[in-house]
Amino acid sequence: MASLNFFTTLLVGSLFGMSAVAAGSSAVNSGFVTVGTGGVTGVYYPTGGAICRLMNKARRQHGLRCAVEATEGSVYNIQAIRSRELDFAIVQSDIQYKAVNGVAEFSQAGADKELRSVFSLYAEPFTLVARSDSGVTRFEDLRGKRINIGAIGSGHRGMMRELMKINGWSDKDFSQVTEFDSAEQAGVLCTGEVDAFVYTVGHPSGAIKEATTACDSAIIPLKGKLIERLLDNSGYYREAKIPGGMYRGNPDDIDTFGVGATLVVSSEVSEETVYLMTKAVFENFDQFRKLHPAFARLRKAEMLSDGLSAPIHPGALRYYRENRLLRK
């Protein structure tokens, strides 16, 4: 499909940047580092590919091979870092906060003392997409509909649950609640299996492109009292806009709320490895920013401060101090 060419190019590009490594085969200083991402039609996956591509460029010098893994998303990624199946991962800033504080999805596991941050990336607006014939034009219209709230390991599922709670809803307010993976969402929307889905993702993303081209569907704005109450209730969400002109039928910016994408790592990954990963991105910054349209507006200073609840890993700190990006 011509409209997917851009994403196909990215996927192929990220395949070159990765090597085939099975989950769980990484070890500190083994010569491999793994980066957990999300579904292949999201933005985490090409982001991991871009980071690995830059890291692998200098492989002859440092001897490390970086590989990306497609996953269910943020919650899965935090758990996999904790169990040391992954070294690095991309996670939502709210999920990073919840893991560090041992709340919400992480209340059973408790506060994650070993999680470290590296840098933050781009904005991830909460994106509600409904099929045009579903009659959904506002969040409130979802009552009685079939909604995909996301896989258990996804980050958007928790955001949807908070939104439902603020609105006084439980699963019973929908005729069906499904848990398809992010890469399956556009397909089940367009075949009519669900009326709407939610996805917290950078833009443009392959999944939203597919959902807005393969059938008639709309991105639904989220604003007003509901969102005001949600933002009052939690410090980790902020107002966000889905930029206009990225998808068919969506020429104008769309109001919603959102979080940021962040790169995290286990404290057990060596200082040298994290230093090399940080250096790969920051020393090739202009090239990095061109690898995905969601990176175009990245600023180094903001990447060191926005949405990082976990302490910055010593390897990243070393790079930031050496390059005067951080003083202390």
**Which residues of this chain interact with ligand GLU, rule CB under 6 A?**
38-39, 42-44, 73-74, 92, 124, 154-156, 182, 200-202
Q: What DSSP state is assigned to residue 58?
A: T
In the complex with ligand GLU, which residue's Cβ is closer, 38 or 49? Answer: 38
Q: How many residues does the chain have?
A: 328
The C-alpha atoms of residue 285 and residue 229 are separated, in whole angstroms, by: 38
- Please, which residue, 34 or 154, has the CB nearer to ligand GLU? 154
d(CA 283, CA 276): 10
Q: Tokens representing 296?
A: 């175009």
Give the DSSP per-residue string, 171-191.
Answer: GGGSSEEE---HHHHHHHHHT
What is the Cα–Cα distance from 66 to 48, expressed in whole angstroms? 9
Supply the DSSP symbol for 226.
H
How many DSSP H helices and E strands does the chain contain?
A: 13, 10
- Spatial neighbors of 129 by CB under 8 A, at least 6 apart, are 185, 186, 189, 196, 197, 198, 199, 208, 211, 212, 217, 218, 219, 220
